[in-house]
């Protein structure tokens, strides 16, 4: 299937590793071009060296208000167009509801919620018909133990994905949210405190009894940003091996 991504240009955030990098790899493999945004210059340099001429990078903190507009400017200056973004903001820290301080809540809101919103605003300012994907979490639909900041913020961001899809549809824009479950990234290693195992998957209630791979996630992201998904907007798609039990 031709996904219609050849020469399309996308901003991909948190692209130095994990789900962001996997999304960028999948897009570039389909002929798209990507502006990679992340804080770690060394990781970005390695990613651009791997992806070649179809990738460029901006080493910056997405929680800073000027980063998203700078990424948009880089896309336009490099390739003269911008077709959308895959917005990943990483994960907030673990914590209980009452044990998470005001400062931690505010920091998570700034880095998770506002960073995603600012990126969407900047991209739509350059192209009202943009395709906007958001990396959320299964916590948008069910609480995860000891993950209060994620449980509190992801559902609200998911609802904005729905509303934003309504607002930009007439201009030809689309939105979607991907809800990863347990994917074998460094983030999962950090949360578990060890390399993921099949037993971890069983404890999490994953029917496939394994964790997903970043490549599996990236393939879904590329499809959803492509022409092949042109009649999908405002939708939330789990990428979780069947972990979510509700409809």
Segment 162-171, tens digit of pLDDT: 999 999 999 9
Determine the average pLDDT of the residues in 196-220: 92
Segment 88-120, tens digit of pLDDT: 987 788 999 999 999 999 999 999 999 999 999
- pLDDT reading at 125 higher than 90: yes
- pLDDT reading at 200 higher than 90: no
CB 16 within 8 A of CB 47: yes
Segment 26-62, tens digit of pLDDT: 999 999 999 999 999 999 999 999 999 999 999 999 9
Q: What is the pLDDT of residue 192?
A: 82
Cβ-Cβ contacts under 8 Å for 79 (sequence gap 6 or more): 9, 33
Between the alpha carbon of residue 169 and those of residues 22, 86, 104, 201, 231, the distances in Å are 27, 18, 35, 38, 10
Q: What is the pLDDT of residue 136?
A: 96
CATH number listed for the domain at residues 9-239:
3.40.50.720
Q: What is the pLDDT of residue 172?
A: 98
Nearest to 13 by CA among 106, 154, 118: 118
* pTM metric for this prediction: 0.94
Separation of alpha carbons 203 and 209, rounded Å: 9
Determine the average pLDDT of the residues in 202-227: 95
Percent of all residues in the chain with a pLDDT value above 90, rounded to a whole number: 87
Extract the tokens encoding 101: 């301080």
User: Which band of pLDDT confidence, cut at 50, 70 and 90, is reported for residue 73?
Assistant: very high
CB 5 within 8 A of CB 30: yes
Segment 230-240, tens digit of pLDDT: 999 999 999 99
Q: What is the pLDDT of residue 246?
A: 85
- pLDDT reading at 203 higher than 90: no
Separation of alpha carbons 91 and 87, rounded Å: 12
- pLDDT reading at 191 higher than 90: no
Determine the average pLDDT of the residues in 127-151: 95
Percent of all residues in the chain with a pLDDT value above 70, rounded to a whole number: 100
What residues does 239 pair with on adjacent strands? 180
- The overall average pLDDT reported for the chain is 95
Q: What is the pLDDT of residue 190?
A: 82
Domain boundaries of the chain, sorted by first residue: 9-239
Nearest to 101 by CA among 93, 90, 111, 89: 93
């Amino acid at each position: 299937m031709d996904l219609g991504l050849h020469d399309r240009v996308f901003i991909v955030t948190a692209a130095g590793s994990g789900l962001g990098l996997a999304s960028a790899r999948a897009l570039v493999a389909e002929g798209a071009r990507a502006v990679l945004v992340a804080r770690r210059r060394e990781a970005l340099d390695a990613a651009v060296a791997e992806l070649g001429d179809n990738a460029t990078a901006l080493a910056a903190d997405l929680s800073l208000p000027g980063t998203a507009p700078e990424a948009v400017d880089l896309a336009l200056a490099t390739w003269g167009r911008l077709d959308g973004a895959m917005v990943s903001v990483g994960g907030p820290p673990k914590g209980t509801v009452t044990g998470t301080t005001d400062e931690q809540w505010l920091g998570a809101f700034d880095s998770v919620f506002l960073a995603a919103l600012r990126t969407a605003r900047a991209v739509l300012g350059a192209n009202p018909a943009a395709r906007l994907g958001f990396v959320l979490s299964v916590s948008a639909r069910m609480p995860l133990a000891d993950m209060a900041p994620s449980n509190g913020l992801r559902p609200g961001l998911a609802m904005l994905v729905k509303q934003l899809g309504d607002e930009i549809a007439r201009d030809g824009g689309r939105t979607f949210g991907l809800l990863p479950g347990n994917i074998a990234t460094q983030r999962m290693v950090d949360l578990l405190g060890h390399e993921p195992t099949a037993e971890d998957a069983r404890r999490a209630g994953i029917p496939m009894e394994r964790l997903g791979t970043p490549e599996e996630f990236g393939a879904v992201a590329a499809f959803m940003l492509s022409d092949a998904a042109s009649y999908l907007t405002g939708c939330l798609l789990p990428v979780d091996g069947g972990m979510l039990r509700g409809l």
